Amino acid sequence: MREGKLVCAAALLALCGWTSLSAQENVRWLHSDLLPVSHVNDTTVSYVVRTDQIYAAGMDTLPQIVFWRTVMNLPPDSGLISMQGERRIYAKWSTAEWDKLGEAKQLAYRDSIRAVHQIPDSVKIFFTAGKSDFYNANGVIADIHKGVPIFIGENVDPFYAQAILLIESPGKVRKSNAGAVGSFQLMSGVARSMGLKVNKKVDERKDFEKSAWAAAKLIRTTCVPQVKAMLLEHGIEPDSTSLWFRLLVLHTYHAGSGNVAAALNVIKPTTGGIWLIQKLWVTKAASFGNASQNYSQLAVSAMIEMDQALRKDQMITLPPESNGRN
């Protein structure tokens, strides 16, 4: 079964080589959310996933998204002082100057922020260094273009491929502190359970196509069914095409269903919606903590940054009637 799936995905990849206009036209309709982009006066076309729902939901205006977009554009020699949860920005510091303060003075400064803005002691004040050296939305377009047909070949919403590639390991093969490897940051045990070889001699997580295939399979066979089951437990009808459902699946991909379920049990939702995602951003339960809360914030922020990068580099979306031609 695995070899057959890889052959199917490989055929889709070949189709996305843009070797002919007919290939472009065919791929265009593999998924309704695919959006062709091309440089002005350039016939080369890449495909990304539409982000309309983000703006329709007003997520681009939320303080958490504004915060992370600022971080994504800030060099690592600078950082932001912000509050837990809301992520309101209070100050910008040189990273070197902040480090020079030492723990005692940093604590005193945080206390002064709390006093001025009447922030409870239970709410943490963070210093977050800029991450412009890590996030590279424009540099991920090529990987999105490669990953999308693999996810479609597995009958998985390509939104997930785009979101994961934009935030997990943008344009690079990395290894996290927890041991996750590759463009889709799979743990060894998860990768093996999805059919990849991971041992002392071989690590197929480093192979983009195989890693994408395993991530897609994980989402299709595990994450999406688990999210649907969790929602039904709370009497909520799943809506797999809605943005809030997609973001909930991303949280499950990152934190695991047990931790997301624990957070939902704290929230006790009776309806779905973006409000539920915003509530997750400020909810702690089991091992669902700060990194878990941040995950969909990063995904939404990175997608907006991708849109900005496309505009900045004069890449344009092709109208439906153009069929891949300028």
pLDDT at 22: 37
Domain with CATH 1.10.530.10 in the chain: 2-57+135-312
**Confidence bin at 315 (pLDDT 50/70/90):** confident
The predicted-structure confidence for 125-168, as pLDDT tens digits, reads as follows: 999 999 999 998 888 998 999 999 999 999 999 999 999 999 98
SS3 321: helix
- For the stretch 288-293, contacts whose Cβ atoms lie closer than 8 Å and that sit 24 or more positions apart, written own/partner, are 288/255, 288/259, 288/260, 288/262, 288/263, 290/84, 291/254, 292/251, 292/254, 292/255, 292/259, 292/260, 292/263, 293/85
The predicted-structure confidence for 7-24, as pLDDT tens digits, reads as follows: 444 444 444 443 333 344
The CATH code for residues 2-57+135-312 is: 1.10.530.10
Do 253 and 218 meet the contact criterion of CB atoms below 8 Å apart?
Answer: yes
The predicted-structure confidence for 217-242, as pLDDT tens digits, reads as follows: 999 999 999 999 999 999 999 999 99
The predicted-structure confidence for 249-307, as pLDDT tens digits, reads as follows: 999 999 999 999 999 999 999 999 999 999 999 999 999 999 999 999 999 999 999 99
Q: b/e for 228-255, b at 16 or more Cβ within 10 A? A: bebbeebebebeeeebbbbbbbbbbbbb
Helix (H) or strand (E) run with residue 324 in it = none
Would you give the end-to-end CA distance of the chain in angstroms?
40
**DSSP state letters, 91-109:** EEEEHHHHHHHHHHHHHHH
pLDDT at 292: 96
Separation between Cα atoms, residue 15 and residue 27, nearest integer Å: 7
pLDDT at 32: 83
pLDDT at 44: 80
Do 189 and 40 meet the contact criterion of CB atoms below 8 Å apart?
Answer: no
Place of tokens 């036209």: 25
pLDDT at 177: 79
Mean pLDDT score across all residues of the chain: 88
pLDDT at 318: 57
pLDDT at 317: 67
Question: Phi and psi for 126 in degrees, rounded to 5?
Answer: -100, 150
